[in-house]
């Protein structure tokens, strides 16, 4: 009825996607939860770190452009006011 979203399909698919150390049947429930949370947090934070770095590079490039433009305008205005030819 639900296809790939059915628990009978998605449950085994999720289990098979886990690493071998997480699929160890000897692990206690607490150990499994601890390892799973560690993997999920590590994965989430690495994704956020990449997003942060990409965003900061974009912002830095835009700020560099803006600062260059503003400094050029300031220098041009000062030169015009003082009579210096560029």
Q: Is 47 left (phi over 0), alpha (psi -120 to 50) or beta?
A: alpha
pLDDT, position 1: 60
Average pLDDT over residues 41-59: 82
pLDDT value for 56: 85
- The pLDDT assigned to 41 comes to 83
pLDDT in tens, 5-40: 788 888 888 888 888 888 888 888 899 889 888 888
Over the stretch 22-31, which tens digit does the pLDDT of each residue have? Answer: 888 888 889 9
Q: For residue 33, what are its two tokens?
A: 């939860």
pTM for this prediction: 0.48
The pair of structure tokens assigned to 36 is: 């799973």
């Amino acid at each position: 009825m639900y296809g790939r979203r059915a628990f009978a399909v998605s449950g085994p698919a999720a289990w098979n996607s886990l690493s071998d150390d997480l699929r160890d049947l000897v692990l206690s429930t607490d150990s499994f939860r601890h390892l799973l949370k560690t993997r999920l947090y590590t994965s989430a934070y690495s994704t956020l770190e990449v997003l942060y770095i990409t965003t900061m590079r974009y912002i830095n490039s835009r700020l560099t452009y803006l600062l260059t433009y503003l400094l050029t305008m300031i220098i041009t205005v000062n030169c015009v006011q003082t009579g210096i030819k560029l």
